[in-house]
Structure 1
Amino acid sequence: MSNQTLLPDGSEWLLRMDYTSRGVHGVTVLVVFSCFSLIAVVGLLSAISLSAFNTRSWATDKHPHLFVRTHVAAYFISLLISDLLQAIGSILNVKWIGDMAVVVGDVCTLQGVLKQTADVATAFWTLVIGIHTFSLLFLEIKQSRFTLWTTLIAGWSGIGAIVIAGPAALNTPHHGPFYGISGYWCWISPEYPTSRITLDYMFMFIAAAFSFVLYTLIFLRMRGNIVIERKRISFRRTGAAWRGKQFENQAMTIAKQMLLYPVAYTILILPIAASRFSAFSGTSVPFEVTIFSAAVFLLSGIVNVTLFTMTRRILPPDSFKIPKWTISNPQPITEYTIEAGPDSYYQSSGTYAESYEEKEKDYVYDSEPVPASLPSPPLRIRTADSVPTMLAPPHRSQQRGSGESIYNMYEAANSPIPLTPPDDVARHGGYGR
């Protein structure tokens, strides 16, 4: 199988590039760095998600400036997602290490798409964080929620459009596929050098340059060299430190801490920018320099996570509690009310209302029937582990009149029916007359 093919324009297009032992070791270093970055980014995204879930019910008036509710949190999460895509794209180098060669195919195209998407997205969201910080600290303008959603939707849509535009508009049989082998991995094919700059590196350099300018202006503003009075900007050589109208605002504090991310991004892209432009100009770049510059750029995820964890009081400590899921809770015992008649025989299974003791005095215990209008006492039944006990009838001497005997409804619950009847009951042949 040939490693190259001839394109219609007469140029050669690389189909396969074999790895040497040195190449395997160098690319393995990049995979290891990417794995560390992936773990760090996923861990931080999980922590932010847990904090947002636990603070979802916190009152807004008491916690108005939680990090998860600020605009910069959404922009920072987008930046972490970009770092995640960068790490996944580099981890795909594992296939080339296993095959000992980079081969054109679906995996190669996927790696090229991920790398370009990550490059453009990282640059864009770094620039957005810089602009947001500039508007808060320099201009003292607070962005609205409409601006937040517009930036998020337009940002990711624009990133997707840039990635799609290359292969959709420039992928022609005359120049070969848009994504192909680029050194020891896959990226935009060498047949599209202009696209490499305009659809990838240009966004990285614009983000770095604008971040540097914005950072410088903010620094001079905080130092007191730049003064804004009634929408007029003046410069002073010396001046008192400026704190701003909202210096104590938590949103301002978070914005100041976010200044570190554009600065870190600018530092991280300098080695890879220098090596790539040297290669574009025709200068031979040593293999070690290529691996070093790529490794430094892949540290973006680790650096962003490290900067976030070193910043104090961004996420409340109480928001990291893992929620406890309860299957069922014990329910209180329900009382049921049953209307019972005056001659109930199973009194120990329930408890009569106290008002019935007073009503008992109004009963006539003789041969006359009980008035129908007399209300029956309510009987409250509790669901408890108890066995009802039948109460013993009263002694004959306790009966009144010649009517039927009335059981003592307030006898103690532990008075069972006697097995042997009393003597006077036995002589008269039972209870009653």
Structure 2
Amino acid sequence: MATLPPSSTIYSSAQRNAVIIQVVSSLVSFNALLVLFGLMIFMKKTYTHTHFQAYFVCLLLANTMQAWANIISLGWVTRGGVQDGGLCAMQGGLKQGGNVGSAVWSFVISLHLFNLLFLRYKTPKLISWGMVVFGWSFVFTIVFIGPVAIETAARGPFFGIAEHSCWITLNYRVQQIFMEYFFEYLSVVLSFLLHVGTFLRVRGNLLCVDGRWRVRWVPFGDSWQLSLGRDFTDSAMLALAKHMVWYPVAYAVTIIPVSITRIAQFCGLDVPLWLDTLTNCIFDLGGLANVVLFFGARHFFPKASALPAFTEQRKDTARDAIVAQHGVTPFTLQRPASEMSEVSLGLPPVSPRRRTSMMSINSLTPMRHDF
């Protein structure tokens, strides 16, 4: 028979200091998230109605749940130790929900950018909102299924004392792995693969020729050849793709260290308190990392009015003849009735002589793009 979890645990002086350090880390992330939420309300709402912002707000909400769950430990510090009960169960539920939610929305953002930049598929608004509802429903289901359907009297409460705070108790080790760690690692791996594919696509390394995908590698000194496979959208979004890949990287950097210490503890190894505290602090700063990346990403978003619509390929043009020599079949863009000037795109005026020498960009249709 499994051993029932303890109803309380008393902090040693070192454990108390370690918990205080983790609470401070969570407060830093929590305050950064609050500042960002406030700025998003008052800042210029260029992307207010776009899919990316909806998903990103969901990610920030999950980060807020994580931070708040850890801030609750401040109550344990004042009491001198963790006590089982309603507050402990609430902390465990918030912690699991925030961790799983961060994994889910990190992956959804990666999937959305993959659809937009790799598949060139514009997600309808109804599907976008359906994704938001499904994502949060999945998170809440994972949280509630433990105490409702898995918890047994023999093993005790599902959410309870776990080391220096409250989470899924040690008597539910399998659930700790498959109801949280599994989703976190799956999100890291899938998000990284999606971002790498997207980056190679917009850079020109990954091409679709005659309905078949092929990879094109060129020597470092000849990387200029990749630009022949890019259309206007690829060029505009290349800098964004380079920056957005840091979201899964940042998520992996924050979660892998603490996961390693947890696996070591599962295997019966003795993890020093300072190392456990350090990895937890890194994980607790995940919200701050997303805030910093958000302010950096805003400088990489092109203006929505300058982005083109995706249309079918054009044929028998001079540009296509040149690009075909390199085995590239480009996407093309549709020219509007009244041609957009270079000034409207933020480009310097082009002289008539230089205009004739340039390969024409076949149409630039201004539109609000769904990020």
Aligned match of 2:352: none
Alignment of 1:17-416 (within 5 A): 17-51=9-43, 55=45, 66-238=46-218, 240-241=226-227, 242-244=229-231, 246-247=233-234, 257-313=243-299
Query: Contact 1:136 / 1:255 at 8 angstroms: preserved in 2?
Result: no
For 1:312 and 1:270, the matched residues in 2 are separated by 27
Letter in 2 for 1:293: T
| Structure whose CA Rg is larger | 1
SS at match of 2:61: helix
SS at match of 1:210: helix
The range that moved more, 304-313 or 131-140, is: 304-313
Q: With the length of structure 2 as denominator, give the TM-score of the two structures.
A: 0.75
Letter in 2 for 1:117: G
Letter in 2 for 1:137: L
**RMSD of aligned C-alpha atoms?**
2.1
Letter in 2 for 1:271: P
For 1:234 and 1:287, the matched residues in 2 are separated by 50
SS at match of 2:268: coil
Cα deviation per residue 1:167-198 (whole Å; 9 max; x = unaligned)? 11111111111011111100001000110011
**How many residues end up aligned between the 2 structures?**
295
Structure (1/2) with the larger helix percentage: 2
Aligned match of 2:341: none
Query: Contact 1:179 / 1:187 at 8 angstroms: preserved in 2?
Result: yes
For 1:67 and 1:164, the matched residues in 2 are separated by 34
SS at match of 1:180: strand
Query: Contact 1:129 / 1:258 at 8 angstroms: preserved in 2?
Result: no
Change (3 A) 1:237 1:71: same
For 1:249 and 1:274, the matched residues in 2 are separated by 39
Query: Contact 2:62 / 2:98 at 8 angstroms: preserved in 1?
Result: yes
SS at match of 2:171: coil
SS at match of 2:126: helix
Change (3 A) 1:314 1:127: same
Higher RCO structure, 1 or 2 (CA under 8 Å, sep 6+): 2
Q: 1:107 offset after TM fit, Å?
A: 0.9
2:5 to 13, 20, 41: 13
Change (3 A) 1:124 1:15: same
Change (3 A) 1:217 1:42: same
For 1:231 and 1:14, the matched residues in 2 are separated by 62
Q: 1:259 offset after TM fit, Å?
A: 2.9
Q: 1:274 offset after TM fit, Å?
A: 0.7
Letter in 2 for 1:113: G
For 2:242 and 2:47, the matched residues in 1 are separated by 13
Cα deviation per residue 1:345-375 (whole Å; 9 max; x = unaligned)? xxxxxxxxxxxxxxxxxxxxxxxxxxxxxxx
Q: 1:314 offset after TM fit, Å?
A: 7.2
SS at match of 2:226: coil
Q: 1:71 offset after TM fit, Å?
A: 0.6
For 2:35 and 2:255, the matched residues in 1 are separated by 24
For 1:143 and 1:229, the matched residues in 2 are separated by 24
- Flag structure 2 segments of 5+ consecutive residues without an equivalent: 219-224, 303-371
For 1:237 and 1:198, the matched residues in 2 are separated by 39
For 2:248 and 2:49, the matched residues in 1 are separated by 21
The range that moved more, 192-201 or 260-269, is: 260-269
Kindly, what percent of the aligned residue pairs are identical?
33
SS at match of 2:233: coil
Aligned match of 2:365: none
For 1:168 and 1:230, the matched residues in 2 are separated by 53
Letter in 2 for 1:220: L
Q: 1:138 offset after TM fit, Å?
A: 1.6
Q: 1:281 offset after TM fit, Å?
A: 1.3
The range that moved more, 285-294 or 252-261, is: 252-261
Q: With the length of structure 1 as denominator, give the TM-score of the two structures.
A: 0.65
